[in-house]
Amino acid sequence: MMTGAEILVDALKREGVDTVFGYPGGVILSIFDVLFRTPEIRLVLTRHEQAAAHAADGYARATGRTGVCLVTSGPGATNTITGLANAKLDSVPLVLISGQVRTEAIGSDAFQETDMAGLTRPICKHSYLVQRVEDLPQIIRNSFHIARSGRPGPVALDLPVDVAMAVLDSYAYPEKPDLPSYQPPGRGSAGQIRKLASAIRKAERPVVLAGGGIVSAGACDELTRFLEKTNIPVATTLMGLGSVSDRNGLFLGMPGMHGRVSANNALMECDLLIGLGTRFDDRVTGVLDTFAAKAVICHVDIDPSEIGKNLRTQIPIVGDVKSVLKDLLEAVEPRPPDGWNRAVREWAERHPIGYAQDPDGEILPQFVIERVGRWAPDDAVIATDVGQHQMWAALYVRHRRPRAFLSSGGMGTMGFGLPAAMGASLGCPGRTVAVISGDGSIQMNIQELATCTLNRIPVKIIVLNNSCLGMIRQWQELFYNGNFSKICLKERPECRASCTGHRPDCPNAFWPDFVRLAEANGMPGLRASRPAEVDDVLERGFETDGPVLMEFHVRKAENVFPMVPGGKPINHILLGGGIDP
């Protein structure tokens, strides 16, 4: 005899779950009660349910396993919505278990009742409302299978309190999922793969665009072998960073709105574009009708609905990109490097990314990020938040291995970084995990400082404090005539509308005091205000055993370049000093 709650916890163990991120509440208590007696599963109490969802997401991104989040009904459940949508857009395997009011009370607007199955439908890969305890084992089995198979994604499982407390006489965890209508694609069509091999033979200017699908499929080695055999230059999207080492001579970096000139030019000029596990997002393509206009497009994706969604595709291949690359490696002929490789290299050499740090001036955020590479171990996991620092991190962090750069790509969720780093740290004990954040983003889940301290989660928190919402400031400077509307995070009612945000007489030039915030939460806080202090703070920070917050007072008026303005082709690039196609 087992209760629904006991069945759930047993099922989690059988699914290999070792860590659950959650927050208790009325209708989920029976499960917290069972977990109280289950030492095999570590239950981490975050300070907000949104952070629990992001932590489960970060755990999943860093480990490749399925993240699990456990919350109560109503506000507990709705607080995870951003986390679920975030995981959906970046195809992260996650299972949310939310409590629900008693089955007979559903629909009566009971205390803390929300239609979670309905709310999660458009932002999850699938959702369940468990109506009978008899269905629970199979639903859990199905949920984990759906979350991690095919194109991964979040699954929401809503569990009414009476189902969790109901007793089942006999219970056996199902060996197989029962999903006759769900069959994720496997191998790609042999004919289509031959077609691609022949297109590669004929192509003069081929380019590979590798996305997050390469990482999800565990296909990084296959990709590297394919690139080495064919010498095709490769750009990786934000989600694909780390799938190819940035030391690989074929690596062009990230393309798109804040992409490198060489990557963008290569995509615009190529005559064969091979998209692998990528969805041709608008931040990558810019205006669609000019994107890769001269190219034959081949698109490999496990999700058939991605093919042809944004881009006309001549060679569609539906399948698991790992197996497609294996088959392709057999079918394709070696291709020596040629003039195209030289042309692409030249773009890279002519347009390196860079900044000029004045040793006596303000600290530049790019400088801090580049120096993180000096002090963080080689296998460190770096999470980011969203904004300017995120793009600088994409450009200046070393990308040597997959699952080591965790960033909210599709959803662009400020507040993702710190909880995601917590999840990664718990999932990868022994590895250094850092989060690069800004003063805007970090304050969206700042309450998790306490979670880090109390649970001894040794996250190295880097706050690039420019005292404003930098990316918004950049857009207002470039596209809204410098009308800085609500970007200053220290603005008060008495501030003048004419303030450009650069007044030296502004009181509390940097605010809040993150060092004191860190200390109030029981972790050391370090600060650098001058370039000469940057290395010292990073060295001490990365040598600290537990969690630590490093605050850097950085230049406010710094903009992210390269930049392609929205609605422009991606070779229409602002480099900070004009347009250079």
Partner 1 sequence: MTEERTLMITVANRVAVLARIAGLLSSRGYNIESIIGWRTEDPDVYQIHLVTRGTDEQIEQISKQIQKLIDTIKVVDISHDKNSIIYEFALIKIRAHKNRSEILDLAAVFGAKVVDATRTHVSIDLSGPTQRIDRFLDLMKPFGIKEYIRSGHIAITA
Angle (deg, nearest 10), helices 29-36 and 4-14: 60
Closer residue to partner 1 (CB): 180 or 430: 180
CB proximity list for 548: less than 8 A, separation 6 or greater = 460, 461, 518, 523, 524, 525, 526, 541
Distance CA 246, CA 259 (A): 14
- Member of 18, 281, 303, 539 binding partner 1 (CB under 8 A): 303
Asked whether position 173 contacts partner 1 by CB under 8 A, the answer is no
Asked whether position 258 contacts partner 1 by CB under 8 A, the answer is no
Asked whether position 289 contacts partner 1 by CB under 8 A, the answer is no
Site mask for partner 1 (CB under 8 A), range 365-404, x = bound: ----------------------------------------
Name the segment binding partner 1 (CB under 8 A); options: 174-182, 219-227, 249-257, 279-287. 174-182
Asked whether position 179 contacts partner 1 by CB under 8 A, the answer is yes
Number of CB atoms found within 10 A of residue 455's CB: 16
Closer residue to partner 1 (CB): 153 or 255: 153
Euclidean distance between the first and the last CA atom of the chain, given in angstroms as a whole number:
70
Distance CA 341, CA 546 (A): 46
Asked whether position 288 contacts partner 1 by CB under 8 A, the answer is no
Distance CA 312, CA 298 (A): 9
Length of the chain: 581
CB proximity list for 477: less than 8 A, separation 6 or greater = 484, 559
Q: Are 503 and 547 in contact (CB under 8 A)?
A: no
- Member of 109, 170, 172, 181 binding partner 1 (CB under 8 A): 181
Asked whether position 146 contacts partner 1 by CB under 8 A, the answer is yes
Asked whether position 180 contacts partner 1 by CB under 8 A, the answer is yes
Of 437, 455, 445, which Cα lies nearest the Cα of 546?
455
- Member of 182, 355, 475, 511 binding partner 1 (CB under 8 A): 182
CB proximity list for 332: less than 8 A, separation 6 or greater = 196, 197, 200, 201, 226, 229, 230
Residue 408 tokens read as 């909210």
Q: In the chain, count of helices (H) and strands (E)?
A: 23, 20
Q: How far is the CB of 42 from partner 1 (least distance, A)?
A: 30
Name the segment binding partner 1 (CB under 8 A); options: 118-126, 188-196, 227-235, 287-295. 118-126
- Member of 14, 42, 126, 490 binding partner 1 (CB under 8 A): 126
Which element (helix H / strand E) includes 42? Answer: strand 42-45
Q: How far is the CB of 182 from partner 1 (least distance, A)?
A: 5
Closer residue to partner 1 (CB): 122 or 336: 122
Name the segment binding partner 1 (CB under 8 A); options: 83-91, 120-128, 417-425, 428-436. 120-128
Distance CA 336, CA 324 (A): 22
Q: How far is the CB of 34 from partner 1 (least distance, A)?
A: 26
Site mask for partner 1 (CB under 8 A), range 98-117, x = bound: -------------------x
Of 454, 455, 437, which Cα lies nearest the Cα of 446?
437
Q: How far is the CB of 106 from partner 1 (least distance, A)?
A: 11
Q: How far is the CB of 126 from partner 1 (least distance, A)?
A: 5
For 413, phi then psi, to 5°, come to -90, 105
Asked whether position 540 contacts partner 1 by CB under 8 A, the answer is no
Binding residues for partner 1, how many (CB under 8 A)?
18
Using CB under 8 A, list all residues that contact partner 1.
Answer: 117-118, 121-122, 125-126, 129, 131, 146, 179-182, 303-305, 308-309
